[in-house]
Amino acid sequence: MKYTQLGRTGLKVSRLVLGTMNFGPQTDEADSHAIMDAALDAGINFFDTANVYGWGENKGRTESIIGSWFAKSAANRDKVVLATKVYGNMGTDGEPWPNHDKLSALNIRRAVDASLKRLGTDHIDLYQFHHIDRATPFEEIWQAIDTLVAQGKILYAGSSNFPGYKIAQANETAARRGSYGLVSEQCLYNLYERRAEMEVVPAAQDYGLGVIPWSPLHGGLLGGVVRKEVEGGRRSSGRTADALKDAAVRAKVQSYEELLDKHGLEPGEVALAWLLTRPGVTGPIVGPRTAEQLQSALRAVELELSPELLAGLDEIFPGPGPSPEAFAW
């Protein structure tokens, strides 16, 4: 496994991030434990979760599954860089209560303690703001985070789904307070969806944040869906099926798969490997439902993409180009 440094921290993390959002909703506890065992055996040491994963009445279930895995061996926790998130409403008794979501100091304090209990650990390595909270000033957020760092409950703070100007606002406020600020940004970024290159990735680079792309296969669209339809009669479903109804989208995806067929490469593996070539990217999040899916993701880390192939990918998915030129009419 290849490793890199997480932003401007001393943490060394694997270039693949194990996403756990399927643990509970789609993968039972035993299989989730097996996937985490296999990930650790393969050298993946960066695990990402969120307090709301499990969803609906089972919010928090994913963190609990990770906690039961940690309970099996203290070495598991010692080897893992653990990231979770705060923002979503965790109220379970009917109508959500106010102050049980977003980024008020009260909710941050409440949410950290609840996550620590579910995860069965005394600290979280990377505590991420799942979304921006327009109602809570960053002065209050950093006051709460600084207290948690001083208490040893968290080490670093990161953001998720932040626009570039919010990354700047958060870190400028932190600098005025003498706080450490954000060290990472988790954003939607893949070959098909490259708008993060306009402002989010440059802002992250300027402020020393590691970029952690989520949905690297764009909901499965970059995972060989057209080939699967042709070869196995397997119909796409959900958002992927809806997207493929658009003739222009289908044509792009088909061109992508045909290009990779010429090179004898798997679409999903190339989509991950491409992200690993992008400036500022720490590592993409993979969310395997099975051990087989994890093995496919692992192959991407060793995949070298030729300049010819990279140029071909840019022709199909050109991206927005640099700012401010990308904003030109």
Q: Which residues are catalytic?
A: 53
Q: Could you tell me which residues come within 8 angstroms of residue 97 by beta carbon, excluding any fewer than 6 positions away? A: 91
- What are 80's two structure tokens? 């893992």
**Helix/strand/coil for 36:** helix
End-to-end CA distance of the chain: 43
Q: At what angle do helices 267-275 and 291-301 cross, to 10 degrees?
A: 50
Between CA 117 and CA 111 the distance in angstroms is 10
Locate 23 and state its tokens: 């643990």
If you search the block for the tokens 């708008």, which residue do you land on?
195
Question: Token digits for 311?
Answer: 């140029």
Per DSSP, which regions of 78-160 are E strands? 81-86, 124-129, 154-160
Tokens of 287: 């969310």
Query: Rounded to whole angstroms, how far apart are CA atoms 146 and 103?
Result: 14
Q: Taking CA 36 as the corner, what is the angle to CA 286 and CA 201, rounded to the nearest 5 degrees?
A: 30
- Sign of the CA dihedral with 58 first, then 60, 66, and 67 last: negative
